[in-house]
Chains A and B, each alone.
Chain A
């Protein structure tokens, strides 16, 4: 498969001069890039480059000391995580962050909690609006379960599932929110080749079928170069490259960052 060449013109999210530090440690310094609507944007870089910190800033989990993030035309310097969720930003985690005591179905249903509005009283009676709402959202969730081919583990507590399936359930939970921007933190880490191929297929299908904009962090360069439209490279909290995969492959600063150079 060769790199896809697609063009995008509408910017969904842009990061402007973000700086984030923890005490004396500068995790991100003066980072700017943008994510276009409908593209697959990869963030790569060696370990400790600040990739996850970048995602955490985008979805409001960290608050950068400097800079601002413009999402859908609204400029913010700070956002709380659930506000980000309400704005249509969903994510998965590098270390799986599922609700281990709950079944696959319940985990994915939880992804729709922002769309479920009936109050405690109707919930307690479980008739009328509460029952209708539960069925409606179940139908939506079943579509995701079909899409991700996890029908057989619907009722299994996720704590009992193998790693690869847990990653898939976590993607399902993020998809259940029907996000406009999906942040994936190392969706293929620790997977074998078949699992990686499945996951790539899901990521591409989500992008094609639902038009979801995807921003992913990944260490497998083959995957990154194949599926992403544009790539931003971080190293030691600084941006060292930004462009389409072919440019990144030939960028000397990127090659140096990965291979190491003698200074």
Chain B
């Protein structure tokens, strides 16, 4: 009833090609951004920032990065943890070796280094596909784990291997409060998400999707597979690298290589599979789902057990958490293999007709 596009006439191709061609969508997105920037900082507690908001925002960015590669270009990658690590350690090295640089500039530079490493590990994709490519990117993961643990230069010869991020500030303004952390991460994610959306709706994005859907036909209409695949690896690794820099500098503050283990790669992959392959919105929804579900189960299980007179210890809760989490992922993949983003578009389609059935 409220979601009708009747009467909204598009009179130019620009209006037809807009990201949100329907006015209601534009308003909803604007409202969401206003809430995220202006309302949340006044209501969120420190716990909510640290446990929910900052991880969701940063991991959304990483998920968008992985979605560029897997969802849009169809290249399976298990190396996202490695690219996050490269972004984080490169940013750290820029910060300590060029101390005059702002930490956020270092994070962006770290993203470019990650893009370079991504291109290098993307080269095998020119010859191999599918599971074999997954193995090749897995090599990136193991290589990064090894390099950042064993090559002491990367960690500036700290004895423990754990390193600290530089203090966060811009032009003398201290940004170490949780609110400031959140806003900074949100700015990075929103700006880069918009940039990514612009790329995927343009001709470069179409080349990626052409390679994903049918690489032979793509080549025959003039797409160069090497260029398309390597740009996808570069853009993807850049986004993941920036997310890694933010994760290390803003969220963790001090970290060791285990922070970017293969678990992180799998987590990001679950996010985009559950959220929806080939969708920017899906990446964000998937990140929110994966971060929030354990917290929700953690909070909900003990009272639920109390209903039946069971006392559930914290250890049991964490076991249940893992089990329910796994079951939900499987359930999800069976019921809606195209992810939350598809669920959302189905809901919108229903809403257009509501309250009528068809």
Contacts and interface: CB of A to CB of B under 8 A. Distances in A.
B213 A99 contact: yes
Interface string A111-140: 111101010100111100011011101110
User: Which residue, B203, B206, B214, B218, has most C-beta atoms of chain A within 10 A?
Assistant: B203
A85 interface: yes
B24 interface: no
Contact of A90 (B204, B209, B221): B221
A113 B220 contact: no
B346 to A, nearest CB: 14
A101 B278 CA distance: 10
Interface string B182-202: 000000000000011011011
B238 to A, nearest CB: 10
A144 to B, nearest CB: 14
B9 interface: no
Nearest to B191: A124
Given A61-B220, A82-B223, 20 more contacts: A82-B219, A82-B220, A84-B220, A90-B221, A91-B220, A98-B217, A99-B214, A99-B218, A100-B214, A102-B209, A110-B207, A114-B222, A118-B202, A118-B203, A120-B204, A125-B198, A131-B14, A134-B203, A135-B13, A177-B221
Interface string B1-29: 00000000000111001000000000000
Interface string A34-61: 0000000000000000000000000101
A173 B206 CA distance: 13
B314 interface: no
B124 to A, nearest CB: 20
A60 to B, nearest CB: 8
B231 interface: yes
28 contacts: A61-B216, A81-B220, A82-B220, A86-B222, A90-B221, A91-B220, A97-B214, A97-B217, A97-B220, A98-B217, A99-B212, A101-B213, A102-B213, A109-B203, A110-B203, A110-B207, A110-B210, A112-B203, A113-B207, A116-B203, A120-B204, A124-B198, A126-B202, A134-B17, A135-B17, A137-B203, A138-B17, A174-B221
Contacts of B204: 120, 123
A101 B212 contact: yes
Contacts of A93: 217
Contacts of B176: none
Given A99-B213, A110-B210, A135-B14, A123 B198 contact: yes
A106 interface: yes
A85 B221 contact: yes
A90 B222 CA distance: 9
Contacts of B201: 126
Given A98-B214, A101-B278, A124-B195, A81 B206 contact: no
Main secondary structure of the interface of B (DSSP, over half): helix
- Contact-residue size bin, chain A (C-beta under 8 Å from the other chain): 35 or more
A119 B199 CA distance: 10
A123 B199 contact: yes
Contacts of A123: 198-199, 202-205
A177 B222 contact: yes
A113 B227 CA distance: 13
B235 interface: yes
Contact of B224 (A82, A111, A118, A125): A82
Contacts of B207: 110, 113
B206 A106 contact: yes
Contacts of B17: 134-135, 138
Nearest to B74: A101
A99 B198 contact: no
Contact of B199 (A99, A102, A124): A124
Given A99-B209, A138-B17, A82 B195 contact: no
